[in-house]
Structure 1
Amino acid sequence: MSEEVDVLVCGAGVGGLATAAAIGALGATVLLVDKLTRRPPIAKGELLQPGALSSLREWGAEEILLRQGACALDRLSIRAPDGESLLALDYAAVLGPKERLLAADHQTILDALEATLPGNVTIRRGVRVDRLIRDSAGRVAGAHIQQPGGETAVRARLVVAADGIGSKLRAEAEMGGKRAEYAHRLLSFEVAGEYAGELSAYVTERGLRLVYPLPGGTTRVYTQVGPDELRGIGHVGLVGWTHRMVDGVPALDPMRDGLVAALAGRQLLPVPRFLAPSLAKPGLALVGESAHAVHPMAAQGMNTAITDAAALADRLRAVGGFAAADVDEALRSYQRERMPMLEHIATVSHNAARMITDVSPLGRLLGRTLMRNTARNPRLLAATCHNMAGVDVRPLRLTDRFYQLGLLRDANAQVIAR
């Protein structure tokens, strides 16, 4: 069996659905396939930043999320265990009165993206991508897929790999990249009750405690743990561990009983970081986690997948067609223009994660120094807000690092540029 489409998107997570929505809006025939028949429930991808929300707004997904009760958050705050603010990013004040984060369940975000897909996009689930198809010049020209009716050769002018950090397509195309793991994991709780009105990151002697609201009167809590910290301790041990964790963060005391009650539904998650050295080859593009992964503390992973999709669609719109030569021109532009942004996001996310998750005495002292001096400097605070929100690129200079460390005085500290 064989068929032909303009674009074959492999993977129906956020990156794949966003790509199908963005490219489908250009009028292309799109086939979106995923190996799973049902989405597994997982604590990930629940915070949407302003940079990604602008694309969701254009596609109509933001309106759906708001109707579904998504929580609007104005601030991202880094706090001491007792709740003292160390560094606060006020999105409305810095970026504009309408800018904010949205918090929504991951499944709801996927459903909202799927609801925006135009009629020229077809989704097939329970379909495994077997191997790429190449033309006589070696250009990717589609893929063989395994579906209930047997194997099908799908010819496409563009194949999009949105199949996750362990991307089979990226490996087959020999596009490289090595996954690294942070020296900790995150234990996720979904706590019944409303305990937060913002995205709060608590910096403790034992690492990060991340808290934010979800729709339906629940609260998400991520707790940093060592790789083997919880190994083999059983339920009674977990209850004791949870009480000790809360004892170390007095600001979390109101949710103590809720955290214990949520232990049955906990998830222990690895924390990888990854950036592919290349985003495209002739006929093939990487989006989302097939191209990059960052620490969840920075709330950039899902958002970057969405903006990947928007950037790829913009390049395809610019060339004005889906002939192979046009697609490859768009892919070269995507690689050239998108890679610096991804490198910037990877650096910002890694630096933010290290500042908050380092549990060594020196690391904690350094992190607090950086946060407090950034908070006292409106110019650096504005740059940090823009970087975290994903609205533009404002890399910090070497002299800015000296300002953050308190080694130099910033004569332009009061200069704030929106």
Structure 2
Amino acid sequence: MTEHAARMQVRLADMLEATRLTGAGRLDEATALIQRNLRERPAPAPAPEMKRIEPPTIDLVAERVGEGTRPEAPRAGTTAADEPAAAGPWVDGDLLGDGAHPAIIPERLREVLRGLGRGVAPVLNGLNLAPGSLPGMGTGRPTPPPAAGDGQFVARSFSSPAGARDYKLFIPSRPAAGACLVVMLHGCTQSPDDFAAGTNMNVLAETEGFYVAYPAQSARANGQRCWNWFQPGDQGREAGEAAIIAGLTRAILDECPIDPKRVYIAGLSAGGAAAANIAQAYPDLYAAVGVHSGLAAGCARDLSSALMAMQVGAPGQNAPTGFGAPAEGLRVPTIVFHGDEDGTVSPRNADQVLAQAGAGSLHAESRSVHSDGRSYTRTRYADAAGRVVVEDWRVRGLGHAWSGGSAAGSYTDPQGPDASRAMLDFFAAHPLRGVDA
């Protein structure tokens, strides 16, 4: 870990303590702690044998439960998705391999992150952190499933040799002929119900007659329910989380009257990064991908490179093979949404997603839109035949949140252009090539 990353950990640890003090009503102490933190430059975290506190981002900190770790208490309705991964135990907190030892967030701090909500906004404003940039800093309201007519929103489980996950499937009351399937990957601390409510995707699905699947990350795979986008074992074909999601997708195709040429995947934040990984690993399954506030496929291989990518984008040495241009015949149509004020995932990552999709070799046309909500610039990239295969939406003033989403869900910004609608329109123009109906 670099000295800079260590300094960030100490600063964020102090901020979390200030958050706890604020929640307890001890505002003077919280303010004094933050002021001292801003004046001083703390030393890196010492003793490797001590548990350290990782930055409480929405995007990472893998915590797999194995031998030597206190097991999570069973919950009512627990399914195979909550069982420990079959790959074997993790020893001494070595969660990433290759000698890296990320910290395990103590339960006390985890509860602080989940529970305080908007009460800490005055303190966070002093650190220039936008509401929603930390877990637990969403709307502060419960997130019931959205109303979607007579469609069904059913709980399912999927299991395969690669692993198991729960998921929820929205089944429209009147499926369209040749209906499509959209696989939606939530961000950290979110759930299928929360993500469905925030994106309004089920409402659109009922109106237009398509299916939506929401895989649920297990707390046993990641303590903050983040998809492990930065783990090499979860990025590639027929292994880890990528294989689980692909297998889940195929199982739905076998069961439901879905056009196999119209299968798409999208995600927010950690889910957006995972969607990029999965689409690149399975270009024969997913016809297009939507990456919202996410990162390029394979841009990180461990914790330190993940932190670096989130802050400034992937450096050259951490870039995946073929980074900056798609492999011949493997171009996956890609739509990108990113806020220019995203303090959690640098907008430079959106540029790298575009580069990975091959935007640099395409003809670009941009249009800026000024509105009463959030202004934005939409850039469409067309190939030599005039077919738009990449789109980029840069939303001014948007932080780390789903653009145009509903306040019923977390990490949403209702003022922005409707990312769900834009993604569906983009997907509709891109059936999978080379697949028989």
Higher-Rg member (1/2) = 1
Greater strand share, structure number: 1
Between Structure 1 and Structure 2, the one with more helix by share is 1
- When normalised by structure 1's length, the TM-score is 0.24
Q: What is the TM-score with the length of structure 2 in the denominator?
A: 0.24
Which has the bigger relative contact order, CA under 8 A and spacing at least 6? Answer: 1
